[in-house]
Amino acid sequence: MRMRHRLLSIVALAAWACQPAAKVLDTLVIEGLSIHQPAVVRNNVPLTAGREFTTLDVQEAIKGLSHLGLFSAIDFYVLEETDTSASLLLEVKEHPVCEAVEFHGNKKLKDRDLEEKVTISEGRTVSDAEIYENVRIIKEAYADKGYLLADVTCELIETKVPGNVIAKFEIDEGRRVKIKEITFEGNEAYRERKLKRKFKTKENKWYTSGEFHRDEYEKHLDTLMMFYHDQGYLDAHVVRDSVWYHENNRHIFINIVLDEGPQYYVGEFFFTGNKVLESDALASAVQMKQGKPFNKSKFEIAKMMISNAYREEGYLWVQLKEQFRRQDDTIDVVFDIVEGRPAIVRKIQIRGNEKTFEKVVRRELVMYPGQKYKQSRMERSVREVMQLNYFDNVTPDLKPNEDGTIDLVLDVQEKENIGQFSAGVMYSQVEGFGGNFSVSVPNFRGAGQEVSLTAEFSRRYQRYAAGFVEPWIFDTPTRFSTNIYYRRQLYRGDEYKSYGVEFGLGRRLKWPDDYFRIFANYGISQEDATYALDTVDNIIMLDEGILSRVWLKLLRDDTDLPNFPTRGSVFSMTGELAGVGGDYHYVKGTIGYDWYFPLFWKFVLGANSEFGLLGSVLDTIRILKTDLLSAGGVYYGGQLRGYPEESFGGRFQEDRGKAMLTLSSQIRFPILDRQLYFAVFGDMGNTWGGIEQVDPTDLYTGVGFGLRLLFPMIGLMGFDFAWGLDDPRRTHFENDAHGFEFHFLMNRGF
């Protein structure tokens, strides 16, 4: 009976809706709820029993319930009606709740990959719109893999729980679609073959995959136009492009129609409005030669260089407005410059230093409040803070003030391994397996000090040391260090013991420039060795005694990063004098130079060299075998990978331990920035019996590749695989050893 009444009431509702008069709501009956509580509906419906309502109130109720996103259908019916009142029925159809998501037919993409992409998940309601959107998401994921014809459907399967469903996606992956052919039209300046080389979307060949990705394809069209613009075709553009499938649904064809336009050439550059910088100085920043094709990328660089020239003078708000004057195929450029006024640094704020004292950061800055802003000073300040090696990143930010001054904000991101503790098993190619225990705090108490305790032990090696470094003693840029140690080593039948103490002072210099540092150290130790006292030429190898020595080091380092620099150089010159008391007498000097240069993308070229000489102020050198100059391996003396440790000179070729030269180069690439690096390298080196015997053409060569991994709480670990390429007819090795060598090292780069 009720069903019949409802059917009749539909007509009544339509007729009643045309009546403007309000009626009193007698009752509101809600049907169709099995998942949600009635209160969820009543709280979002502006209809209350005993109060008047109109058709507008009914419409608002439908809108409010629709916005909840819980229902697929919402209908009102008139159950009973009088001239002044009415009873209504609200009938809703709930969206089901997802109990689980299943994928079937997927082979190229794993369930986990798809689950990360779809938005339907357990416990959420499922609507038709969401199903449509997730089908699109899955198709797009397959399109990124080259499966452009993948077919995806979704079926909602009811479960035993009322209102719950399983979202089951059926996937027909189809075949991977490849680009069969790319053609160009309208190209007159360049042949199709060259355009295909420049166009990064490639045809399917034996050496290219030929996969089609829509987003990348659009970017590659822009890159192709950049190529034209850099050749002087500033008006070049894509008229239209077409992408279609072959009848077999396995191949894609692409056609690109171009309008190249005329080629333009560089004319003259003019500057107006410039008072701070002369026109000649601004023109020198433009690296575009008159008469050459007008390169748009170089022009953008020229604008940046002009802006940087003004930033260097403190004019941060300089405005450049360029005007192109075209005369036939030549373009003259007029820069209209509004210089503004220089910016003064009002204050410098340090943020993010939760562990490090603010003064540790501030004392590294070369820009101060009250100074006129200078771009190079800001960049140098960031570099100096990064060189502390306490931070993963330093980000500068400039905030202008209403009075024309600026605030410089340095956001620092502290490293997680500011304090390091490690204990475990270690391996050295020379010493074999052993154990280690170390506590190293490179930023002790956040004051920039360094404290370290180290214990290393293996079957043939023990070392115990305690050290302390204060980089700014008495709040001056003077470095103080001290180290106490004991060392014992067994190597090729000989035993070496040493225990002593070292003290050092270092100072920053302002001449020749402020990248220079000077260090002075003094050390005294007791040395004992089991080898027999021996004399070679004018060298006496002492087996025991007091070693008292002082050494000076001059260092210039302008690299951008401490561990893996991408640009800059390191020059070092060290002089060591033994004989300030004690039993040993010799003079040793080394000169080193490292240079780094960015190539392309993230590749970096590095070159390293070291040259050393050994002599004495007396007629005879009195020295330990371990202090002779040597080359080979990575642990002692000059680095020469591909050969055993101390293959040249040192304790095994005493007559060749007075001169040493090593050269190295590498190409480095970060697999994970500042965490994992790969490099290929080549080393050259040798030792001789004196400077008169040094022959740069008599060098041994090694090549190989290596990895460097930076582990928190452990440090930098290195693995080098190298091959010695020396002539086996040379007899400097025991048993003519040469060939493959594996080198393991800690806390050293390439």
Q: What is the pLDDT of residue 728?
A: 43
111 and 61 housed in the same domain: no
What averages of pLDDT result for each successive group of 10 residues across the chain (750 residues)? 39 48 83 79 83 85 82 85 86 86 89 88 85 90 80 90 88 85 93 92 85 85 94 94 82 93 94 92 90 94 92 90 92 93 92 89 90 90 88 90 90 72 50 62 82 80 89 89 90 84 92 91 92 80 91 93 88 94 93 94 93 89 90 87 87 87 94 88 93 90 91 74 73 53 79
What pLDDT score was predicted for residue 3?
Answer: 40
Q: Are 75 and 183 in a shared domain?
A: no
Query: pTM for the full model?
Result: 0.61
Q: Does residue 637 sit in the same domain as residue 536?
A: yes
Helix (H, G, I), strand (E, B) or coil at 292: coil
| 251, part of any domain | yes
378 and 498 assigned to the same domain: no
* Domain's final residue, options 312, 338, 364: 338
Phi and psi of 414, rounded to 5°? Answer: -70, 145
Residue 260, C-beta contacts closer than 8 angstroms, at least 6 positions apart: 186, 187, 188, 189, 228, 233, 235, 236
Residue 735 within any structural domain of the chain: yes
Is 390 a domain residue? yes
388, 480: one domain = no
Phi/psi for 305 (5° steps) reads -65, -35
List, in order, residues 6 or more apart from 617 with CB less than 8 Å away.
577, 579, 585, 587
Domains of the chain: total: 6
| C-alpha count within 13 angstroms, C-beta hemisphere, residue 370 | 0
Amino acid at 305: M
Q: Is the dihedral of CA 99, 105, 109, 110 positive or negative?
A: positive
Tell me, yes or no, whether 160 and 12 share the same domain.
Answer: no
Does 540 reside within a domain?
yes
Residue 398 sits in the same domain as residue 292: no
447 within domain boundaries: no
Looking at the fold, whether 243 and 118 belong to one and the same domain comes out as no
We report the CATH number of the domain holding residue 364 as: 3.10.20.310
Q: Domain boundary at 141, 156, 172, which? A: 172
User: Is-contact 680 704, C-beta < 8 A?
Assistant: yes
Nearest CA to 651 out of 490, 524, 447, 410 is that of: 490
Q: How far apart are CA 235 and CA 345, in angstroms?
A: 43
- SS3 for 309? helix
Residues 520 and 662 in one domain: yes
Is 438 a member of any domain? no
Q: What is the CATH number of the domain that holds 586?
A: 2.40.160.50
Residue type, 278: E
Comparing CA positions, the residue from 606, 732, 592 lying closest to residue 657 is: 732
- Report which residue type is found at 279: S
Which residue is it, tokens 């492009």?
241
pLDDT of residue 732: 46
Domain-ending residue, one of 118, 153, 172: 172
Which is it for the CA torsion 348, 349, 350, 351, positive or negative?
negative
C-alpha 647 chain-centroid distance: 38
Closest C-alpha among 663, 726, 658, 662 to residue 693? 658
Phi/psi for 87 (5° steps) reads -110, 135
CA dist 6 and 80 (Å) reads 9
Nearest to 169 by CA among 195, 142, 188, 190: 142
Q: What is the domain extent for residue 242?
A: 178-259
Contacts of 146 (CB under 8 A, 6+ apart): 176, 177, 178, 209, 211, 212, 213
Answer yes or no: do 20 and 151 share one domain: no
Question: Edge to edge, what strands does the sheet with 23-31 contain?
Answer: 52-53, 23-31, 85-94, 71-81
Distances 445 to 94, 360, 363, 419 between C-alpha atoms, Å: 61, 11, 17, 10
Sheet holding 621-623, edge to edge: 534-536, 539-541, 621-623
55: β partners: none
SS (H, E, C) 201-226: CCCCECCECCECCHHHHHHHHHHHHH
Q: Residue 633: left if φ>0, alpha if ψ -120 to 50, beta else—which one? A: left
Considering the domain architecture, whether residues 548 and 642 belong to the same structural domain is answered as yes
Q: How far apart are CA 381 and CA 329, in angstroms?
A: 46
- Collect all residues with Cβ–Cβ distance below 8 Å to 140 and sequence separation of at least 6: none
Q: Which amino acid is at 546?
A: I
The verdict on residue 448 lying in a domain is: no
Contact by Cβ (8 Å): 70, 95: yes
My answer on whether 605 and 658 are in the same domain is yes
- Give strand pairing partners of 251: 178
- 582, 623 contact by CB (below 8 A): no
E strands within 599-712? 604-615, 621-623, 630-631, 648-649, 659-672, 676-688, 700-711
Task: Give Cβ neighbours of residue 63 (< 8 Å, ≥ 6 apart).
Answer: none
Do residues 343 and 373 lie in contact, with contact meaning Cβ atoms separated by under 8 Å? yes
575-595: b (≥16 Cβ within 10 Å) or e: ebbbbeebebbbbbbbebebb
Sequence-distant (6+) residues with CB within 8 A of 157 are 165, 166, 168
Would you say residue 612 lies in a domain? yes
Strand partners, 524: 501, 548
401: helix, strand or coil: coil
